[in-house]
Chain A
Amino acid sequence: MTALLEARGLSKRFGGVLALDGLDLSVAPNEIIGLIGPNGSGKTTFFNVITGIYDADAGQVAFSGADITNASPRTVYQAGISRTFQRSRLSLPLSIFDNIMIGNHKRLNQGLWFNLVRRAEFKREFEVAFRAAHSLVEVFEPRLAGRIFEPVAGLPMIDRRRIEICRALISEPKLLLLDEPFAGMTRDETSELMKDILLVRERNKNLTIIIVEHEMGVIERITNRCVVLNFGRKIGEGPYREVAADAQVQEAYLGAA
């Protein structure tokens, strides 16, 4: 089977630090991959290089067979990759609906004439977009669906994470990058949000997910396969149980015995 995402020899240097050091990573369609490793091992940098926020210093990235090395964030999004951010990056004064529509950019008509003059057509597009956003939010949390025109600012962290994931999913991407979606959450909130993600996955079997997470219980439950990074290099790969038993991985996390 051909890989959906294929990174080869990916390197990224910040001054004297090699955040990514010749990383090879291949993701098959429909996989859920856990990207784990100690803080500073290059997980978020990997996301940022893939999505075009940083340019790679060396290496290639291919997505669905097309080269997307150093493509702009726009191109990467258009190709069907979307993401969430480690620190929630919602636009707080805007409504839930508006935040989700930011993620729907490629399916909305952006023409000046359409937006300013063709208001009847705009309204039809708005209604279609509303139904899509409403039913997506409903999967996560029916309570939020009723408050879709209220600002995000007043919502608790777990709801903000849900909305961020909705924003990433609304455009029906092929690949979803989740950057520590459970950071700072209680155990109950974590399992609640995890159920939501698994439900979305249940409804869309074609969705491939790469998830960065420190909560190993989560990684064990959701992922098919794990990739372990340390100092920007891959030091382990395989199902969670195998990886967790690996001596090198244990050393990276816990230090040399």
Chain B
Amino acid sequence: MAGETEKSRVTLWPGLIALAAATGYFIALLATENQVLIISLLGVGMAAVLAAAWLQLLDSASRSFLDYEDALGGFAILAALAVAAFFHEDHFVLLLVITVLLYTVATLGLNIQFGYAGVLNFAGASFFGIGAYTSAVLNAHTALPHLIVLVIGGLLAALIGSLLLLPVLRTRGHYAAIVTIAFALLFRTFLEVNDVLGGPQGMQVPGMKILGWAFNNNIEIGKISLSFYMNYYVLSLLLLIGVFVVVRRLDRSWIGLNLDALRLDETAASCFGLDVVRWKITAFLIGNFIIGIAGALFGMVGSFVAPNNYTFADSLILVSILLLGGIGNPWGLIIATAIVVVVPEKLQTIQEYRFLLYALLVIAVLLFRPEGLLPRPVRRYFPRWRP
């Protein structure tokens, strides 16, 4: 059949070339300081993407990502390590890339809730904050191993999130969204008036230690010295890989199908035996658990937590990443997070206007590419499987 032969012609190369180009571009962008150069780099980047889209190169790249996901995933890990090696002494850049990694983890959690199950969550930053404050309190006051603190951060985010379950399950669409917005606003106020948690000034977070290895010391290997952020970089990358695999498997299973079915038509789904409440709860809890773990690690990375970092506006940024990247496509989320986190940091001149930029970007995407930069492909349970 025509379709079959076309599929068999898909190779690894377009995906690999796209990945290499994106990595090179990302490194160049991160290494540039001059504002004029950065603006021209961004212009070149946009022109290149539009040209690639026009020449249909993007389609062949995304097809090869679909068919050779495992191999390209391995290369993507190498690319992340290459970025780290290039900036091994640069605290600022490493922190920025760690932020990209951990925000991606958080949006992957949000993606399970909103992208798959259709449960809106406008309190993403609050659950991120619950994880971060968990690190602050537990690292300062207990001797719990820090890897376990990360898990507790996730569990607490899921547990506190379950307070929202009743109102979220009893309402639909916009009304459920309003419940989560109310939670986001309440959460910040709660932190500000709570002296035990440092009030508006926030708290210090003691750095991470695993089996005596202190993450906050720079690393010396022979003559090479590495920024202490390299510790956090590796751990954040491992977390992202783990969560990425879980989200991928979830999508490519009956559970992913259940979540899609209840998002698209709750009534029809329940007529075929789907327990709507059970799966909404599952998606909401797993999503918040993932966001909480990312937040807990981010708290230790930043070594400081304050209510101002976990506002409703930050939750909106997480949602806008989801819309920008392509709801339901984890690869798109990585790219979108990189854009949303890195561009305002590099373009110091627009700092004040970053929200204007996000708003314009999201509106442009919704208008011209409503399914996001990388739209979600139709589900293949085993991409290379043929009957």
B-side interface mostly? helix
Partner of A110, one of B258, B268, B270, B271: B258
Bound CA span A170–B225, Å: 62
Residues 229-257 of B at the A interface (beta carbon under 8 Å): 246, 249-250, 253-255, 257
How far, in whole Å, are A213 and B380 apart by their CA atoms in the complex?
36
Which residues on the B side are within 8 Å of A150 (C-beta)? Answer: 378
How many Å lie between the Cα of A153 and that of B201 in the bound state? 53
B296 within 8 A of A: no
Most chain B CB atoms below 10 A, which of A82, A90, A116, A146: A116
Q: Size class of B's contact patch?
A: 20 to 34
Asked whether, in the complex, the Cβ of A77 is within 8 Å of the Cβ of B273, the reply is yes
Which of B1, B250, B261 lies in contact with A91, CB distance below 8 A? B261
Q: Give A68-113 interface residues, CB cut-off 8 Å to B.
A: 72-74, 76-78, 82-83, 85, 89-95, 98, 101-103, 105-106, 108-110, 112
Q: Is the CB of A89 within 8 A of B267?
A: yes
Interface residue A128 (Cβ < 8 Å from any Cβ of B): no
Do A116 and B249 form a contact, CB below 8 Å, given A98-B379, A150-B378?
A: yes
Flag if A83 contacts B378 (CB, 8 Å): no
Does A91 contact B378, Cβ atoms closer than 8 Å?
Answer: no
A74 close to B381 (CB less than 8 A): no
Q: Is there contact, CB below 8 Å, between A94 and B379? A: yes
- Asked if B254 and A101 make an inter-chain contact with CB atoms under 8 angstroms apart, the answer reads yes
Q: Which of A192-249 contact B (CB under 8 A)?
A: none
A interface residue count range (under 10 / 10 to 19 / 20 to 34 / 35 or more): 35 or more
Task: Indicate whether A105 sits within 8 Å of B382 (C-beta atoms), given known contacts A91-B265, A94-B264.
Answer: no
Q: A126 to B382, Cβ gap below 8 A?
A: yes
Q: Is A22 an interface residue (CB 8 A)?
A: no
Report if A59 contacts B (CB, 8 A): no
State in angstroms the CA–CA spacing of A109 and B255 once bound together.
9
Contact: A103 with B250, CB < 8 Å? no
Contact with B along A142-160 (1 / 0, CB 8 A): 0000110111000000000
14 A-B pairs with C-beta separation under 8 A:
A51-B271, A73-B273, A77-B272, A83-B271, A89-B268, A90-B268, A91-B260, A93-B378, A102-B261, A105-B273, A108-B254, A110-B255, A116-B249, A146-B1
